[in-house]
Amino acid sequence: MTRFQSILVPGRGAAPADWLATALQARLHMLDAGSLRHRAVLEAVAEYDADLVVLEIVGATLQGSARRVARAVVESSEVPVLLVQAGETPVLPWRRVIVPVSGRPEGDTALEFAAALADALDMDVIAAHVVDPDTGGDGLEWAARYADAPHHEYPNQLDEFVRRALPHCSAAERHVVREVVLCHGEPAIELHKLVALRDASLLVVGWDEHLFDDRSVVLDRLLSGVGCPVMIVKPAARLPFRLNVGDDVE
Amino acid sequence: MAAAPYPAMSGAAQSFEMEAVIFDLDGVVTRTADLHAAAWKETFDTFLERWAAERSTPFVPFDLATDYLAYVDGRPRFEGVRTFLRARGIVVPDMAEEGGGDLVLDIGERKNDEFLRRLRRDGVTVYPSTVALVEELRRHRIRTGLVTSSRNGREILEITGTAHLFEAVIDGTDLDERTRGKPHPDAFTRCAELLDVTPSHAVVVEDAVTGVAAARRGNFGLVLGVNRGDHHAALEAHGADFVVDDLAEVDARSLDARFRECREEAAWHVEQEGFDPVREHAMESLFTVGNGYVGVRGSPDTLWPGSQGDLFVAGVYDRKHVDRPYSEHEFLNIGGDSLHAELVSAPFPFRLRLSVDDLAIDAVGAQTRSFRRTLDLHTAVPVTEMRFAIDDARAVTMSARRCASAAERHLLLQEVTIHLENHAGTVELDATLRDPDLTANHPHLVPLPARAPAGIEVHRYRTQASGYEICIATRVTLAGAGRDSVYWQAPAAPGKALTFRRYVAVYSSRDVDDPVATAVADLEARSWDDFDGAWRRHEARWAETWRHADVRIGNGYPTEQALRFNSYHLQSTAARVPHVSIGARALSGRAYEGHIFWDVEIFMLPFYLHTDPAVARNALMYRHYTLDGARQRARDFGHRGACYAWESTVTGEDVTPRTIRLKTTGREIPIFTGTQQIHVTADVAYGVWRYWDATHDHEFMRDYGAEILFETARFWVSRSTRGPRYHHIRGVVGPDEYHHSVNDNAYTNWMARFNLQQALAAAAWMQREWPGAWGALCERLDLVPAELGAWREVAGALYCAAPDKRGVIEQFEGFFDLEDYPLPAEERLQAPVHRLFDWDRINRLKLIKQADMLMLPFLFPQAFTDGTLAANYDYYEPLTDHGSSLSPAVHAALAARLGRREAARRYWRQSLWLDLSNVMTNSSLGVHPACMGGTWQALMFGFLGLRFDETGPVCAEDAARRLPDPWRSVSTRLLWRGRSYPVEVTR
């Protein structure tokens, strides 16, 4: 039994949903188009105990009610949302999933989710750390720094991205992550290039608190021209932890 | 709410270290516990009676003796309702569910109504002893706060007339998602914030076990339990540092004395609470045990899938291979291939699988209720305590300790105690060391058959390419069982703990001809009667170690703690055998593949020189052992003498890759350090001289050190080129690795000149003191007098840049002409990754990775005036991004000498806490021993301005003024030329 047993499709049907339900042996729940209101979708998520919501978006970006629904589902129910662009013919079955990682919790969660999905669907996972030179230090999250000798630190740091995201996997199980790549450039552009280069079927990204902000352009840049469905996953709460040292450390 | 001003104590001011005391209300300040208990009983009994009647089940009333203390006391009201109902098997829907909160809300509100009714009817009394203590504290200007889960807290304070006693109050009305009630520490830490004190500087006084647990979690400096009933032991078990029956037993002075004791004791421990898989690899590094021969990462005894529970054996390396990578994600190393390219990881030697009543339990399982790991720095023993709840009726605790014996370097010890708290059951322990995922986890090892006698499990491995054999053998017993086995199934019950003990012996073919036979013989010779004796020998050795490794900081417990943590790792990883040295991450992680760098001689050696000179000698013996490799390397470059490898392992050959290639893009990035960072050769010579100077170990110099000095001197003569006026060293990388192919790097040239000078001095000394040995060495090295003349000539004419008119010494030829680079603050100590891609551009910028020219006043303080140092510090410091963990300590030392107190403190703290606070976010890959050694040097030679003369250690005249706030003093003992000297600086 996989962790994906119930898939909810509000609004118009989305192409990969049928295939996903079959491949995952999951129940597929369709809501009529009039139900694309976030409260109704949230109620349906609870009613059907959905593990995944598939949402079709029209146009290059996520706007209007679809944005509100996606936001409500991810932020309130914490169920992942799969965004599929209308009119796009999916290449099925999915073979490869790309996950941007940075050492932050959202990247960890996305990679962990992608690994589980890949295991269920017999896909490969590629983790990608995209370094944005234009944001300088701002673009470097706390866990994504590299130090000292490149040939000693950088590969290990990349490896650590995988290990920390998949803490419950053995070394053998972690091999579902076939590649960890380091890219250099504007993140959305680099990810799009990687999707095309690797012929990826899916991009899984971790949610952060600004992802759905109206002023945030990250999601729109990501969706615009990506060429494959995009899954958004919310990080799980961190476990209580404390290192009792010093006065103000930790 | 602000408390009324209080008259201060007259007379001489008492100096207190505790800055604040935070009190619980119910049971500590006020005698409301009886009112609460009665209200709870009235409310619950009413509910339970109705509940039983509706279901035709027996009515079991609320028990004040058991139910109140276990489920309600100290908890926020609704949480208390929920906890009690669950304990009675009454399913309580989540508050967020529709209608789910009604039952809890209803009972909670009824209880509150009943409590208020009784409060207003009967009033409430206060404990006069508590009020007296609070008043005394206030007179001493010690801040006081109050925390209670009661939503009526402020009303009760008003009714009792005690509100004026507390400067900050947190009651139930202040609790929310961000300030959670007990047992979360949030309310206490919030109160500390309001009082403007850090928790470790404050005391918490509590009578409830949940409150005690909350304060312990909050890392408060002292947790005082008040035993109002019969739960003295429970208060201690949940974290009270000490327990009194009434606060009349303490006063401000005695409380402060206890606080100091606790702080002092806490400074000998590093404690982790909770288990977070994301942070676990960093914790595994921090909690590594080692003895210089073996290092074992601090994974939980019950390994979890993501554990990286490596065992490293010093000196055992194997070829790096693309099919057997540790971490070949994205990067391919090209060049640097060697039979000994990578430190080998072996299986975890403390591995356990534990199950109770057929249910497997481990640190990350759903049954885990608490996880605490404490490293006792005194004894170098980490203790892990875990508590599991199989279900509501079955709780299990496990306590495990381990060590890598400091007294017997091939021996590891482990002891595990299992206690079934509240039920009888069956405990199953599988202590086999067989790793089911050997190929994936330890790809360098091939398992080999090995015969083992009964009761001993033997694992024999051979490294894939280098062909070393490792044997890990183990014996396990259940105390009292009288036999050995790695599999145990035993009945257990409350009050009847099971204790398992394990010996592990580790040998490699680098040490003995037959590792299996030696390991088996080792274990067979051991008696379980001597198990405690083996622990005592280990602890005794550490007690001896701390005589010189410990540094006391007056009024600086956190600093003491961090310094001890660093010393612990430096000693754990210390070179205990002559043919190995210390890798960049010691034996605590796979990063840097166990390679040996200049870190040892320049950053770690001084610590060992003055705390454990035998280690320093061993580290230098490694350089003598690898001298042939260095000679070969010089020949490969077309030079004479010996050129040490920038990165070395077993033979002295260089294992630095020439290039790295990114798999995704195919882009290649050259690595210049292997061929150009030749200053390591002079660094080794510097280490030889410094050892000789500090120990007067003349036999070492005669038999080994002089040969190193002579061969390295030969190399510099051969490597330098003669110009019209000077000799030059061209095409090098200095400590600042952002610049390659530079000429006349100030650090390299200075160190090479020093190398030549010391070779000449050693030659003169040998001719004078050991003419026979001198003649033999000259013959063996084919050394003729004319060659000494060449050394003298180059030493006298090697270009060493003088200060310019600003007093600044140019880092290398043409540095001043490079393009300016405005270094953003956020890039300091956090070098952005695009440094990797922009290597060629960075070569043209005034951007420095780490102290380079500034290394010279760090190593040769007497050679630079304060003025010259200031000019160079002011010029180079703003250009440095500290892309190496080695850099901050150097800057701290120099800033301290210059009286730049804030900069010195900031840099030193970055260095001091580098691993404990994971400053560079890479501690998961292993700890940073060179940074630890640099931190120690910055304290000794920077803040204390320490130097040595014929009388021993002498501190700078202004050392007291250099001490950072709030230190009052620094004291330690140091070794110098065979004698131990006290060193003390008091402000």
Cα of B68 to nearest chain A Cα, Å: 26
B916 contacts on A by Cβ (under 8 Å) = 243, 245-246, 249-250
Give residue-wise pLDDT tens across range A129-143: 887 766 644 333 444
B746-769 vs B785-797: helix axis angle to the nearest 10?
150
- Closest among B161, B166, B173, B150 to B77, alpha carbons compared: B150
B302 contacts on A by Cβ (under 8 Å) = none
In B, residues 788-817, which contact A (CB 8 Å cutoff)? none
The per-residue pLDDT for A105 is 81
- Name the amino acid, one letter, at B900: R
Interface size A-B, in CB pairs within 8 Å, comes to: 214
Of A137, A152, A249, which is closest to B827 when you measure between CB atoms?
Answer: A137
Cα A49-A51-A57 angle, rounded to 5 deg: 115
B102-122 vs B77-87: helix axis angle to the nearest 10?
120
A179 contacts on B by Cβ (under 8 Å) = 329-330, 663-664
Pairwise CB contact (< 8 Å): A244 & B884:
no
Annotated active-site residue B392? The verdict is no
In A, residues 229-248, which contact B (CB 8 Å cutoff)? 238-248
Using 50, 70 and 90 to split pLDDT, how confident is the model at A66?
confident
Pairwise CB contact (< 8 Å): A241 & B364:
no
Q: Which residue has the tokens 């990775």?
A: B849
The per-residue pLDDT for A3 is 74
Of A140, A156, A181, which is closest to B830 when you measure between CB atoms?
Answer: A140
In B, residues 876-915, which contact A (CB 8 Å cutoff)? 883-885, 913
B304 contacts on A by Cβ (under 8 Å) = 167-168
As to burial, measured by CB atoms within 10 angstroms (0-12 exposed, 13-18 middle, 19+ buried), residue B495 is exposed
Give residue-wise pLDDT tens across range B461-520: 999 999 999 999 999 999 999 999 999 999 999 988 999 999 999 999 999 999 999 999
> CB contact, 8 Å: B337 with chain A?
no
Give residue-wise pLDDT tens across range B131-169: 999 999 999 999 999 999 888 899 899 988 999 999 999
Identify which has the larger pLDDT, B222 or B835.
B222
The pair of structure tokens assigned to B759 is: 């070779």
Q: Torsion over CA of B701, B704, B710 and B712, rounded to 10 degrees? A: -120
- Closest among B119, B91, B95, B120 to B106, alpha carbons compared: B95
A155 contacts on B by Cβ (under 8 Å) = 327-331
Neighbours of B66 (CB within 10 A): 10
What ipTM does this complex have? 0.82
Give residue-wise pLDDT tens across range B824-839: 887 777 777 777 778 8
CB A100 within 8 A of CB A182: no
Pairwise CB contact (< 8 Å): B278 & A167:
yes
Q: Answer yes or no: is pLDDT of B102 > 80.
A: no
Give residue-wise pLDDT tens across range B24-52: 998 899 988 788 888 999 999 999 999 88
Q: How far apart are CA B180 and CA B185, in angstroms?
A: 8
Q: How far apart are CA B257 and CA B255, in angstroms?
A: 5
Q: What is the mean pLDDT of chain B?
A: 92
Give residue-wise pLDDT tens across range B163-204: 999 999 999 889 887 788 888 889 999 999 999 998 989 999
Of A136, A146, A180, which is closest to B824 when you measure between CB atoms?
Answer: A136
A240 contacts on B by Cβ (under 8 Å) = 217, 273-274, 276
Question: B526: phi > 0 → left, psi -120 to 50 → alpha, else beta; which?
Answer: beta
Strands B311-318 and B551-554, by their bridges, are unpaired
- Over residues B594-601, mean pLDDT: 96
The per-residue pLDDT for B369 is 85
Pairwise CB contact (< 8 Å): B916 & A243:
yes
- Over residues A148-173, mean pLDDT: 78
Annotated active-site residue B24? The verdict is yes
Sheet of B143-147, strands arranged across: B168-170, B143-147, B20-24, B202-206, B222-226, B242-244
The per-residue pLDDT for B239 is 87
Catalytic residue among B24, B376, B683, B697: B24
User: Can you give B646-696 as a three-state secondary structure string?
Assistant: CCECCCCCCCCCCEEEECCCCCEEECCHHHHCCHHHHHHHHHHHHHHHHHC
Determine the residue of chain B that is closest to A46 in CA distance.
B97
> CB contact, 8 Å: A156 with chain B?
yes
Strands B311-318 and B342-346, by their bridges, are antiparallel
Q: How far apart are CA B433 and CA B350, in angstroms?
A: 7
- Over residues B557-579, mean pLDDT: 93
- Over residues B260-273, mean pLDDT: 92
Q: Answer yes or no: is pLDDT of B750 > 70.
A: yes
Give residue-wise pLDDT tens across range A228-245: 999 999 887 777 788 888
Using 50, 70 and 90 to split pLDDT, how confident is the model at B97?
very low
Q: How far apart are CA A111 and CA A126, in angstroms?
A: 9
Q: How far apart are CA B164 and CA B161, in angstroms?
A: 7
Q: Answer yes or no: is pLDDT of B810 > 50.
A: yes
- Closest among B666, B521, B689, B523 to B601, alpha carbons compared: B689
Cα of A58 to nearest chain B Cα, Å: 33
> CB contact, 8 Å: B382 with chain A?
no
Pairwise CB contact (< 8 Å): B831 & A138:
no
- The DSSP-derived string for B802-859 is PP-TTSPPPSSTTGGGSBP----GGGTTS--THHHHTHHHHTTBS-BSS-STTHHHHH
- Over residues B684-688, mean pLDDT: 98
Of A105, A149, A171, which is closest to B441 when you measure between CB atoms?
Answer: A171
> CB contact, 8 Å: B562 with chain A?
yes
The per-residue pLDDT for B12 is 39
- Over residues A31-54, mean pLDDT: 83
Cα of A192 to nearest chain B Cα, Å: 14
Which of B439-453, B659-673, B708-722 has the highest average model confidence (pLDDT)? Answer: B708-722
The per-residue pLDDT for B93 is 56
The per-residue pLDDT for A86 is 82
Handedness of CA A213, A216, A218, A224 (dihedral sign): positive
The SS3 call for residue B280 is helix
- Over residues A81-107, mean pLDDT: 87
In B, residues 821-880, which contact A (CB 8 Å cutoff)? 824, 826-827, 830-834, 836-837
Cα of A227 to nearest chain B Cα, Å: 20
pTM: 0.88
Pairwise CB contact (< 8 Å): B922 & A157:
yes
- Over residues B864-878, mean pLDDT: 98
A243 contacts on B by Cβ (under 8 Å) = 270-273, 283, 286, 916
A239 contacts on B by Cβ (under 8 Å) = 274-277
Pairwise CB contact (< 8 Å): A152 & B584:
yes
Determine the residue of chain A that is closest to B326 in CA distance.
A156
> CB contact, 8 Å: B513 with chain A?
no
The per-residue pLDDT for B323 is 58
Q: How far apart are CA B621 and CA B12, in angstroms?
A: 58
> CB contact, 8 Å: A204 with chain B?
no
Give residue-wise pLDDT tens across range B317-371: 999 876 554 545 666 777 777 889 999 999 999 999 999 999 998 887 778 888 9
In A, residues 82-141, which contact B (CB 8 Å cutoff)? 103, 105, 108, 131, 133, 136-140
